[in-house]
Amino acid sequence: MTHDFNLYILEEIQSLIKKSEIRTYETYLGYTSSMRQQSSNANLSSRRLRLLALILVPTSFGLVFGPSYSISLESELRTELFTTNKYEVLQRPEKNVVISISMTILTINDLNIKDQALSISGYLTFNWRDHRLDWSDPANTTQDYRSIDFLFSNEEYVWRPSIIIENSIQDMGVISDKSTPMRITNKGIVIWSPSGIFVVSCESDTTYYPLDTQDCKVKVSSKAYTINEVSLMLTLNPVVLDFYSKNGEWDLVSASGSDVSDTSVGRSSFSSVDFDIKLRRRPVFHIINTLFPVVMMAILIAMVFKLPVDSGERNGFALTVLLAYAVYLSIISENIPSTSVSVCFLSLYLAFVLFLAVMSVVLTIFVLRAHYGTGKIPKLLKILFNCTSRSKVDVKILEKKCRRLQTRRKETDMAKSCCRNGYCVFLCLRFVNICCYVCTHSSIHYSLS
């Protein structure tokens, strides 16, 4: 009901009282019962009927007479709450203030695995009750302010809890935002939602990188006020994802909240809550740009032994693949954190393939040395051969077997090469007992038995 409407009602009542048509306001209200019983004998004027309708209709809808909302009325309420009642900003509303917390996540900005840092955009919503800001009961105020549903203020005039992000890696200060207004209801409930970009530490598990899943926490804790003075608790819906925007690299699997009893610092305990965020990496990019090239280069390492020895490209090809693999390994290592807590399977695979690449170069050099060698077996190789064999073998006997092969197959260049090359005889008879592809790089095998 508007203010002009109330004034009109009062003018009608005063006019009737002056004409002695009704003596008091209560007598007129009691007329409704007598009107029902003696309606035939009543001689009501049209003015009485209008006044009766104006009074009874608003009352039937439960409306209460009082001043309507206006800027001046709100100013009077602010003056009464903050000045007349001497509101103290540094004083807690109660001995133990209960703060309800929820988090609204807008987007996942980045999860840096190497730096182990999670960056998210969103805002925290804090709710608490301050009975000093309650104007719902007109008996506790100088006038009726129930037409005002909300007031807005900021942290300069209203008490706020001292809260920090405990695992923040950029700003360890108390959460503060003067530009974000506080909504105050007529029951004294204060709602404050400071927003920002929160960068927190996230211990990464790189065991299955790049097909990994990371669990991160945003730890909110009370500062200065102990658990007996300020208690933090989660709302029924602690994490709100209604306005969440997807990230191109990370998929948000789940987000939830968990209450933590307290955080002890010396002899004092502080209330805290955790927001758990589970992220899974989107694998398509890394499969195409990481795993596929690594597997292809591993195949190229084995292809070096398919090249003919006389082509002269064996050693160059092996070194080229090794260098390319080493460069690619250095690129991948930039995205892997320098930690020994968890070993990445991809790192182990890369190290193993790198070892195979080095061995391919060494074996290629050895094969080329054997192919173009003088035929004299080095003394060190003889000692190694005798130490690793179960029984000492005379190299001269091996050479005789190779000459016997030459006698039987004089038409083959392979037998001549086997007799001419002492390395070849040694390798064939020591390890596989045949003069084969390892010695002469041919697909034809000849038995030395």
Maximum distance among all alpha carbons in the chain? 152
Domain boundaries of the chain, sorted by first residue: 3-60, 75-282, 285-371, 379-447
Q: What does the pLDDT read at residue 269?
A: 85
Cα distance between residue 175 and residue 317, in whole Å? 60
Positive or negative CA dihedral for 299, 301, 304, 305? negative
Higher pLDDT, 417 or 345: 345
Cα distance between residue 183 and residue 206, in whole Å? 44
Q: Which of 230, 194, 198, 231 is nearest to 217 (CA)?
A: 198
Burial of 392 (C-beta count, 10 Å sphere; 0-12/13-18/19+): exposed
Q: pLDDT tens digits, residue range 106-152?
A: 999 999 888 889 999 999 999 999 999 999 988 888 889 989 999 99
Fold assignment, 285-371:
Methane Monooxygenase Hydroxylase; Chain G, domain 1 (1.20.58)
The single-letter code of the amino acid at 183 is R
Q: Which of 403, 385, 413, 388 is nearest to 448 (CA)?
A: 403
Q: Which of 149, 151, 177 is nearest to 81 (CA)?
A: 151
Q: Does domain 75-282 have CATH number 3.40.50.300?
A: no
Helix axes 345-371, 292-303, angle to 10 degrees: 20
pLDDT band of residue 400 (cuts 50, 70, 90) is low
Question: Structure pTM?
Answer: 0.67
Start-to-end C-alpha separation, the chain: 117
> Is the backbone peptide bond immediately before 378 cis, with ω within 30 degrees of 0?
no
Q: pLDDT tens digits, residue range 269-309?
A: 888 999 999 999 998 888 888 888 888 888 888 888 888 87
DSSP-derived pairing of the beta strands 213-222 and 268-281: antiparallel
Cα distance between residue 312 and residue 57, in whole Å? 108
Positive or negative CA dihedral for 169, 171, 173, 179? negative
Q: pLDDT tens digits, residue range 221-260?
A: 998 888 889 999 999 999 999 999 999 899 999 999 987 7
Residues 6+ positions from 414 with CB-CB distance below 8 Å = 435, 440, 442, 444, 446
| Alpha helices (H) in 19-110, listed in sequence order | 25-29, 31-37, 46-60, 71-78
Cα distance between residue 423 and residue 366, in whole Å? 10
